[in-house]
Amino acid sequence: MPAEERIAAWRRLAPSLLVMACRDRETIHAQGDELAGLFCLLSGAVKLSHVTDQGRQLTIAVLGPESLFGSVSSAKTSNCAATAIGEVRLVRLAPAEVARLVGDDPCFAAFLNAGLEAGRERAERKLIDRETKTVEVRIVETLYELALMFGAPCAHGYSLEIPLTQQDIADLVHATRPVVAKIMSALRRRGALDYRRDLICVNHAALRSASAGKSPAL
C-alpha cells in the first residue's frame, strides 16, 4: 500500500497521528527522553546511537524506509538517540492509538508484527555474526546491505547516499576503528570500494568477490 494511503487508513483510528519532516542531523528523540510513541520511517535514514557512561557514542543501527523505532508503551525512557540522516519523513503514533490500531486494523497489526520481527532478527543476526564471521566479512556484508538500501549509481557501482564515518561502520560491525580502517584500505586497493571523507562508493561485484575470498580473522 502506498505511504499516503497507509497514513489515511491509520488516521481513521488514530486522529492524533503526526507526520513529521526532519532536517539532516535533526534529533528525533534524545537518549533519556520519555518516548512519545511509535515512529515509522517513510523516507530517508535514521541513525540510532547510544552514549556510554564513559562518554563514547556508539552507532547502534542505521534504519531505512518502513523501519520502526520508539515504543508501543507509554512512559518509557529511550536508551538511545534517533537522529535524521539527510531529509527524513516519518509518522509518529501515540501508544494508545497503536493499541487501538492493533485491535481494529488487521493490516496494521501485521505491519507492526513484521516490523518488530525484522528488528529482532536484525539484532540476533548481529550477535551471531560477531561470533561466527571475520571482521572483514562483517564489513563487506554491512556495506553491501547499506548500498542496497541507500545506494545511488556511480562510477564505482553505488554510492551510499548517507554520510557514515569509519567509526560508525566499526560500531555497526562490533570492531575497532583502526581494524576497520585497515580492512577498508585493503578493500579499496582491491577495487571493492572507494571513499572520500564520509562518502563511500561500493562495487557490488568486487565486494561479493571479496566476501567469497578467504581472509584471516581480525
CATH number at residue 78: 2.60.120.10
For residues 38 and 71, the answer to whether their CB atoms sit within 8 Å is: yes
**C-alpha of 193 from chain center:** 20
pLDDT tens across the length of the chain (218 residues): 667 888 999 999 999 999 999 999 999 999 999 988 999 999 999 999 999 999 999 999 999 999 999 998 877 899 999 999 989 999 999 999 999 999 999 999 999 999 999 989 988 998 999 999 999 999 988 988 888 888 788 776 788 878 888 899 999 999 999 999 999 999 888 888 888 766 788 887 777 676 665 443 33
Q: What is the reported pLDDT for 74?
A: 78
113 Cβ neighbours under 8 A, 6+ residues apart: none
Q: Do residues 48 and 107 share a domain?
A: yes
Q: What is the reported pLDDT for 207?
A: 75
Per-residue cell: 163: 554520510
How many angstroms separate the CA atoms of 208 and 25, rounded? 31
Q: Write down the residue that cell numbers 538500501 correspond to.
A: 149
Q: Do residues 70 and 143 share a domain?
A: no
CATH number at residue 175: 1.10.10.10
The DSSP bridge partners found for residue 160 are 151
Per-residue cell: 8: 489515511
Asked whether residue 217 is domain-assigned, the answer is: no
Q: Do residues 109 and 204 share a domain?
A: no
Asked whether residue 111 is domain-assigned, the answer is: yes
Q: Do residues 113 and 160 share a domain?
A: no
Asked whether residue 30 is domain-assigned, the answer is: yes
The DSSP bridge partners found for residue 70 are 38
Question: Which value, to the nearest 10 degrees, does the dihedral of the CA atoms of residues 33, 25, 170, 38 take?
Answer: 40
What three-state secondary structure class fits 2?
coil
Q: 152: domain range?
A: 133-212
Asked whether residue 162 is domain-assigned, the answer is: yes
Q: Which of 129, 149, 183 finishes a domain?
A: 129
Q: Do residues 15 and 123 share a domain?
A: yes
**C-alpha of 36 from chain center:** 20
Q: What total of structural domains would you count in the chain?
A: 2
Q: Do residues 156 and 78 share a domain?
A: no
- Single pTM value for the model: 0.84
Per-residue cell: 199: 562518502
Q: Which of 82, 111, 129 finishes a domain?
A: 129
Q: What is the reported pLDDT for 210?
A: 65
Asked whether residue 50 is domain-assigned, the answer is: yes
Q: What is the reported pLDDT for 2?
A: 65
Q: Do residues 123 and 160 share a domain?
A: no
Question: Which value, to the nearest 10 degrees, does the dihedral of the CA atoms of residues 24, 25, 28, 31 take?
Answer: 170
Q: Write down the residue that cell numbers 542531523 correspond to.
A: 25
Q: Which of 129, 154, 179 finishes a domain?
A: 129
Q: Do residues 175 and 87 share a domain?
A: no
Asked whether residue 218 is domain-assigned, the answer is: no
How many angstroms separate the CA atoms of 29 and 18, rounded? 15
Q: Do residues 19 and 42 share a domain?
A: yes
Q: Do residues 86 and 156 share a domain?
A: no
